[in-house]
């Protein structure tokens, strides 16, 4: 397994920073309300993070409309998951089917010992076997790295900051401006928190891609799957995308940026067959790529890495 200490360190630092943010805001709110107890602040902060950790998988399952997918229904899916779990050295995750009209897959759970992998129905008719197994390997990488629960736990903190900001910025009782200051700080921390969540989300995707390759999948198969999934998402209505937009960080690719991703993939699809071959990926490995300033800024606001940078990393694993 590729050394993941940098990923683990970044997840720990992100968690510490996010916990500090929510602790500081709760402390300010407590002082504003006349409550001065660091134990209470710490307790409330820990409770918030724990509740997200504990109920996060159930919330993902419900919001993504996941039901168990039995082995009798999809024996080939279960076989692939079993093989990948053996390669990863973790227990076989539960397999589910998500009734979402967007071709994709995602992982969730509290740890590598209680992981879940879910596929959406449209992905079954879109990817070939190698591509599907590469995607499942990517999700197995998330479970192996235990990164999905960190993302789920910290993602709630920016929203808490946002609601605190709204509550205090428009409070009628400003208390000599104290409420407005808390509101402004809440909004600043909301933006900072969102950027941190997006950063750790992008980082974990690179490691999950590498894990899929280490589990025996071809880099070109995963690149080709990302290409096809972008096409699949681009054919979905805006309403369909918006319905699951809050959970897009869990998907293999950024479903909200599908049109731009297709444009990038088309630059790599030299023969125009709608797939990325081994030879096309080898050509990319020996080429330099240039990311426009616009795409660089868009990446900062995305849950997933820029598609060209991501496939370039895969090409280097070829």
Instruction: Tell me the catalytic residues.
Output: 139
Q: What is Dmax (Cα atoms) for the chain?
A: 68
- The contacts of residue 35 (CB under 8 Å, 6+ apart) are none
Torsion sign (Cα): 84, 88, 94, 97? negative
What φ, ψ does residue 117 adopt, rounded to 5°? -120, 130
Angle at 266 between CA 260 and CA 271, to 5 degrees: 170
Pairing state between β 105-109 and 66-68: unpaired
What's the CA dihedral at 132, 137, 143, 145 to 10 degrees? Answer: -150
Instruction: List, as one string, the DSSP characters of 111-122.
Output: STTSEEEEEEGG
Distance CA 318, CA 312 (A): 10
Contact of 160 with 67, CB cutoff 8 Å: no
Distance CA 124, CA 137 (A): 15
Pull the structure tokens for residue 191.
């933006």
Distance CA 81, CA 138 (A): 11
Angle at 56 between CA 135 and CA 68, to 5 degrees: 55
Contact of 196 with 154, CB cutoff 8 Å: yes
Question: How many helices and strands, by DSSP H and E, does the chain display?
Answer: 12, 4
Distance CA 276, CA 266 (A): 9
């Amino acid at each position: 397994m590729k050394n993941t200490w940098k990923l683990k360190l970044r997840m720990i630092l992100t968690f510490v920073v996010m916990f500090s943010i929510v602790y500081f805001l709760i402390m300010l709110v407590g002082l504003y309300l006349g409550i001065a107890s660091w134990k209470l602040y710490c307790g409330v902060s820990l409770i918030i993070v724990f509740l997200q950790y504990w109920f996060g998988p159930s919330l993902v399952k419900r919001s993504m409309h996941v039901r168990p997918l039995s082995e009798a229904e999809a024996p080939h899916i279960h076989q692939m998951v079993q093989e990948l779990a053996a390669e990863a050295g973790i227990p076989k995750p539960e397999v589910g089917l998500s009734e979402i009209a967007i071709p994709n897959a995602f992982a969730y759970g509290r740890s590598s010992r209680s992981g879940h992998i879910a596929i959406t129905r449209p992905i079954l008719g879109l990817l070939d076997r190698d591509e599907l197994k590469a995607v499942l390997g990517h999700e197995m990488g998330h479970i192996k790295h235990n990164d999905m629960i960190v993302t789920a736990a910290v993602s709630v903190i920016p929203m808490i900051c946002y609601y605190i900001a709204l509550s205090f910025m428009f409070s009628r009782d400003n208390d000599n401006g104290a409420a407005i200051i808390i509101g402004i700080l809440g909004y600043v921390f909301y933006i900072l928190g969102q950027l941190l969540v997006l950063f750790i989300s992008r980082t974990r995707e690179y490691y999950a891609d590498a894990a899929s390759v280490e589990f025996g999948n071809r880099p070109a198969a995963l690149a080709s799957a990302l290409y096809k999934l972008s096409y699949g998402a681009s054919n979905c209505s805006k309403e369909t995308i918006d319905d699951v937009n809050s959970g897009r960080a869990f998907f293999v690719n950024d479903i909200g940026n599908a049109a731009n991703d297709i444009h990038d993939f088309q630059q790599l699809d030299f023969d125009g067959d709608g797939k990325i071959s081994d030879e096309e990926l080898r050509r990319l490995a020996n080429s330099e790529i240039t990311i426009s300033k616009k795409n660089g800024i868009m990446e900062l606001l995305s849950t997933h890495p820029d598609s060209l940078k991501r496939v370039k990393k895969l090409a280097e694993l070829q």
